[in-house]
Structure 1
Amino acid sequence: MNNKKDLASAMNTICHRSSRTSLIQLFTHPLMQVAMPALMPHAPSAQPRKLPAALVERLLVQESEHGQPVQPRTSFNAPLPAATRAATLAYPSHPSHIERAGIEALPDGCGVYLLRGADDRPLYVGRSLNLRSRVLAHLHNREEAYLIGQTHRIEHRRTAGELGAALLEHSLLRDLQPSHNKKPRTKRGLFTLHLDLDGRPQVAQVSESELGRAENLFGIFSSERAARDALHQLVEHHALCSIETGLEQAASLGMACFARQIRRCRGACTGEESGEQHQQRLMQALEDLRIQPWPYAGAMGIIEQGDGWQQVHVIDHWRYLGSLDRDHRQLTPRPAASLKGFDLGSYKLVIQPYLLGQLELRALPGLPLMNS
C-alpha cells in the first residue's frame, strides 16, 4: 500500500515539474531566438561607414552592365505614420493664428518648408518628398502643439528632386538657424590625416577652406582623438606597421613592432616587407578616406530634373550657392558675399553621387549675378 502511495506521489511530482518546465520553455524559448543587441553590453554598435572604393567599383561595373546609372536610394523622408494619415486630412478648423494661404499653396511634391513665428522669426526648417502631407502631419501631431502654437506663417520652396531639397535645407539651416531645429554641435576644429615628408600619416587640424584646396588629406574628424583612433583602426585592419606609420617608437633599428610580435604586421619594421610595398599598401588603405579637392576652375551646375521641370544647383568648391530654374534667373537663395570656399555639409551631400558618376554636371561661364 505504501509503495502504491509513494509511486503516485512520485508521478505527481514528475508531472508537476514537467508542466512547469514546459511553461518556462513556452515563454522563454522564443526570446532565445531573438537577437537583442541593446541588451548585450559587449555587442558592437552599428556605425555608419564611408562608402569603400571597392563598392564604388562594383556599382560602376553594374552600371556598365545594365547600361543605366545606378540610382541612389531615397536618403530622407522615411514616411511617418502621421504623414501617411495626413495625406487624407484637411486643414484643422479654427486656424486663426496661422495664415491659411500658406497651407493651401502647399504642393504634393518635393521641396523644403519653413515655419515662421512672430516677426517672421524662423522656427523650423524641414524637407519632404510630399510637402503637403508632411506639413499637415505637423499640424495634426499633438506632440508638436507647442511648435504649431508659435507658428504664424508657413512657406515652402519647391525643388526638382531630393538632392536639391537636401542642399536647400542645409543652406537654410546654416543661414537662418531656426530655433526648433536640432542645433549642430559647435565645431572647435576639424582634423584630418596628411602625409609628412617621409610619407607617414600625421593628424593635423585644418580649416574648412583648406579642405577644399589641399591635396593628400584623408578623412574629416571632429577631434584629434577621433582622427588618431581612426588611424589606429586603419593600421590594424590592413596589417600595417605601427612603427612605419609613426604610431610606435622603435627602441633600435630593425626592432619588431608589437603587431609584428603577434603576427599582425607583415614585417616592414624588420625588413621582411620592403618600404615601397608597405607605402603602397598604406596609400591604398588611405584612399577610401581621401578628401577630393575641387577639380574645376570655377562654379559648376548640377542638373536635376523631376515633375516636368529642371533645376541647376550651383556648386563652387563644394559649397552650394543656390539654384537656377525657369522661374529664377538669379540664384535662389542668393549667396551672401561672405559664403565662399569649402562647405562640409554640401560636400557630404554631393561627394558620394559625384564619385559614382551619378551627377549631370555643366560648366557655368558667366553665371548671372554671381559677383553682384
Structure 2
Amino acid sequence: MSSINVKLLEHKIDADSLAALPRTPGVYIFKGEGTLPLYIGKSVDIRTRVLSHLRTPDEASMIAQTRRIDFIETAGEIGALLLESRMIKEQTPLFNQRLRRIRTLCSIRLNQTNAGALPEVVDSKQVNLGSTPELYGLYSSSHAAKAKLKELAQQHMLCLALLGLEKTSTRGCFGLQIKTCLGACVGREDRRTHDQRLFSALVDSQVEVWPFDGPIDLIEQAGEWVQRHRVNNWCYLGTQCSKSSHPSQINAYKQHDFDLDSYKILVKPIMLKTVKVEEVEP
C-alpha cells in the first residue's frame, strides 16, 4: 500500500473524491462535516497540488477534519486565480488566511505645492482606485502606507518632515541630526533633488490606471473549451463558460469597487499583453 493511501485511510477522506481529481487547472475545496468549506485553493494541476497537502505535516489539523475534496475546473490559470479569490471572499473558509476582503484600501498621492512634492495618504473612499493617475502603492490602512513612507525615507535618505511625517523646526528634522536626511529641510539639499529621489523611490509601486474605456473579456481556451472572464476597473465581474448550460454567468456578480487581489492577478498579463482580451460593446 502506498504512503498516499495510508494517509487517506488515516484521515478519512472519501477515496472516490480523491480519485476524481483531475490534472488540470482549477479550484479545489476541502470539505468537512459541515456545509462551509475548510479550505479553498487553486492550481494548474489540481490533483498534484491536493496530494501535496496530504504530505504536509503542518496541515494535519485541516486534513484531519476533511471528509471530501471537490473541485471546479477552469480553462486556464487566470480563471483559477480569479475564482479562488472570489470564493474565499464569499465563503471565508476556516483555514484560508489570505485573500480575505479588504474594505478600504489606501494609496500614496504626490501633491505638487509651491514648496515641492508633498505625499498624501488617500483611501478608496476619497479616490477611485484604478482610474486615478499617479497613485503609488496599495495598502490595507493609512498606518501601513505611512510605515512604507518611513521605510523609503530610511532607504533613500529622505526627510521625514518634508514627507509630512514629522513636525518641522528651524534646526531641521530628527533625521538630519542622526544623518539619515541630507538636509533638504534646512536648505542643505536642493528640494527638487530631494523630490526626484522621492519619486524614484515610489515609481516602481505606481498603481496602473485601467487601460480600457470600459469592461473587457479576458479569454482563456483549452481545446474547444472557452471561458470569458469579464473585468472592469481591475474588478472581476464573472465568467461566461462555453461548457455551461446557462448562456451567461457574467451578470451573476454585482459590480464591486476596485479589488486588490484581482488587480494583483490581472495587472501584469493585461499590461504586458500576454493574454487575449476583447473590449465589451457598450
Please give the TM-score of this superposition, normalised by the length of structure 2. 0.75
Paired positions, count: 273
Shift of 1:289: 2.2
Question: Aligned with 1:269: secondary structure?
Answer: helix
Q: Which residue of 2 aligns with 1:160?
A: 75
Tell me if structure 2 keeps the 8 A contact 1:139–1:148.
no
Q: Which residue of 1 aligns with 2:131?
A: 213
Q: Tell me, in whole angstroms, the C-alpha distance in 1 between the residues paired with 2:184 and 2:175.
A: 11
Question: Aligned with 2:184: secondary structure?
Answer: coil
For residue 234 of structure 1, the aligned residue among 145, 148, 152 is 152
Distance 1:118 1:295, change over 3 A: same
Q: Tell me, in whole angstroms, the C-alpha distance in 2 between the residues paired with 1:261 and 1:123.
A: 53
For residue 244 of structure 1, the aligned residue among 162, 166, 169 is 162
Q: Which residue of 2 aligns with 1:336?
A: 253
Q: Which residue of 1 aligns with 2:212?
A: 296
Please give the TM-score of this superposition, normalised by the length of structure 1. 0.60
Q: Tell me, in whole angstroms, the C-alpha distance in 2 between the residues paired with 1:92 and 1:265.
A: 60
Q: Tell me, in whole angstroms, the C-alpha distance in 2 between the residues paired with 1:238 and 1:216.
A: 20
1:61-76 correspondence to structure 2 within 5 Å: none
**Gaps in structure 1 of 5+ consecutive residues:** 1-83, 367-372
Deviations 1:310-350 (A, max 9, x none): 4332211111122334324745575333x422111111222
**Gaps in structure 2 of 5+ consecutive residues:** none
Tell me if structure 2 keeps the 8 A contact 1:324–1:330.
yes
1:201 aligns with 2:116: no
1:1-40 correspondence to structure 2 within 5 Å: none
Distance 1:267 1:313, change over 3 A: same
The amino acid of 2:217's aligned partner reads G
1:363 aligns with 2:279: yes
1:315 aligns with 2:231: yes
Question: Aligned with 2:257: secondary structure?
Answer: coil
Tell me if structure 2 keeps the 8 A contact 1:313–1:320.
yes
For residue 193 of structure 2, the aligned residue among 252, 263, 277 is 277
Tell me if structure 2 keeps the 8 A contact 1:241–1:269.
yes
Q: Which residue of 1 aligns with 2:202?
A: 286
Shift of 1:171: 0.8
Distance 1:363 1:188, change over 3 A: closer
Deviations 1:235-284 (A, max 9, x none): 222233333322333323xx544444555444433434433333333222
Shift of 1:155: 3.2
Distance 1:333 1:267, change over 3 A: same
Shift of 1:173: 0.9
Tell me if structure 2 keeps the 8 A contact 1:302–1:359.
yes
Shift of 1:201: 0.7
User: Which stretch of the first structure deviates more once superposed, 291-300 or 241-250?
Assistant: 241-250
Distance 1:349 1:217, change over 3 A: same
What is the aligned-residue identity percentage? Answer: 33
Tell me if structure 2 keeps the 8 A contact 1:138–1:148.
no
Distance 1:124 1:251, change over 3 A: closer
Tell me if structure 2 keeps the 8 A contact 1:208–1:344.
no
Q: Tell me, in whole angstroms, the C-alpha distance in 1 between the residues paired with 2:104 and 2:222.
A: 38
The amino acid of 1:268's aligned partner reads A
The amino acid of 1:315's aligned partner reads V
Distance 1:178 1:334, change over 3 A: farther
The amino acid of 2:199's aligned partner reads M
Shift of 1:286: 1.7
Tell me if structure 1 keeps the 8 A contact 2:225–2:243.
no
Tell me if structure 2 keeps the 8 A contact 1:208–1:343.
no
The amino acid of 1:223's aligned partner reads S
Shift of 1:290: 1.9
Question: Aligned with 1:200: secondary structure?
Answer: strand
Q: Which has the larger radius of gyration?
A: 1
Deviations 1:222-243 (A, max 9, x none): 3333222211121222233333
The amino acid of 2:206's aligned partner reads R
Question: Aligned with 1:210: secondary structure?
Answer: coil
